[in-house]
Structure 1
Amino acid sequence: MPPLTWKVLGVAAFVGLWIVLAAWWVGPSLFGDVSVEQRREAPATVTLPADCSNPDAEETVRFELDGRTMNGTLSGCGHDQDEQIRIAVPADAVQAGDGLVEVHLAATTPGTSDLRRPVGLALLVLSCASGGTYAFLLARGPRRRVAIL
């Protein structure tokens, strides 16, 4: 087997860097969906709280949007009756008409400012490094143990 030279290691390092740069260039969609639904924030009042012992707890909230008082369902629990919270309402909720609108807490509105991208890239770098180390160990072969007298 030919000896492992710096040229071989350099090519492996270059390929690993190329993979990481290609992943960075692809953008945030590589590690998660970046399509964010258009939402508007509004203050709301909890009208029907839910007990947290229910696995699919939903609370009913009342909020005002564009001068109309509307009701919505909030997937969550633990709020008190008449508690004021901030919610995120889908942009097309006004055209939906009467009925319950599905809303979310404003603090949990999805976006691209989460940790998926940097953590995903860090894991990709670690994966490239560990793959290169494994290939190096395979190419080097087993070491002989030398007995110390």
Structure 2
Amino acid sequence: MAVRLSPVRWALVLLVVGLAGVAAAVVLWGPGDARGEVPSVEATVVAPASCGGVDAYDRVELRIGDQTRTAKLDGCGHRQDEVIAVVAPADTSGDFTVQVAESAPAAVSFKIRLAAMLTCLSGLAGGLYAHLLGRRSQATASADAAKELQDVVTPEVKP
């Protein structure tokens, strides 16, 4: 015997599921990282640094526009004259630090956001299904208990 939900409760359940879907869609198609692909520049290591020291930054030489600049590399242990792809900050005036291009944060791709949304929606659907199964088993158990109680109170009379 299944428990019937009233139309108001079904409307609330569907409202919650719908709002969760809309929220997931907003997260999926909402504003992402505006940078997209990070432009990289090739840099040459001019002064390698040991990774054990306090100032463990290699010095690199890179070309920005028509100028050749020297900057600190946020890393250590590279070889002299090694060419590395780096990402320079927007403000390159004065002394600045560059990152190795492979370690620079990039935008989250559409496929990853889609997978996250579908995972959340499937978890929500599974939770709702488990809730409905739990209510069904509670109703079955209470119906069985009521039948047993009725059998105890009014035993069958055999002729």
- The TM-score with structure 2 as length reference comes to 0.61
What is the one-letter code of the residue matched to 2:81?
D
Runs of 5+ consecutive residues of structure 2 not aligned to the other structure: 142-159
Q: Aligned match of 2:124 in 124, 128, 138?
A: 128
* TM-align CA RMSD: 3.9
Greater share of strand: 1
**CA displacement at 1:10 relative to structure 2:** 9.0
Mapping 1:24-103, distance limit 5 Å: 24-26=25-27, 27-29=29-31, 34-36=33-35, 40-51=39-50, 57-93=56-92, 96=93, 98-99=94-95, 101-103=96-98
Give the equivalent residue in structure 2 for 1:22: 23
Provide, for residues 98-130 of structure 1, a one-character-per-residue CA deviation record: whole Å limited to 9, x for no partner. 32x121222344223376523431331233123
Letter in 1 for 2:41: A
Aligned equivalents of 1:115, 1:50: Cα separation in 2: 39
**Which is richer in helix?**
2
The answer as to whether partners of 1:38 and 1:91 remain within 8 angstroms in 2 is no
Deviations 1:43-84 (A, max 9, x none): 101123344567995322111112222122222344222100
CA contact (8 A) 1:46 1:82 kept: yes
- Distance of aligned partners of 1:50 and 1:125 in 2 relative to their CA distance in 1, 3 Å threshold: farther
Amino acid corresponding to residue 88 of structure 2 in structure 1: V
Match of 2:137 in 1: 141
In the alignment, the residues of structure 2 paired with residue 74 and residue 130 of structure 1 have an alpha-carbon distance, to the nearest angstrom, of 48
Amino acid at match of 1:21: V
Give the structure with higher Rg (CA): 2
Distance 1:75 1:105 in 2: 7
Aligned-pair identity (%): 26
Q: Could you tell me how far apart the structure 2 residues matched to 1:73 and 1:123 are?
A: 41
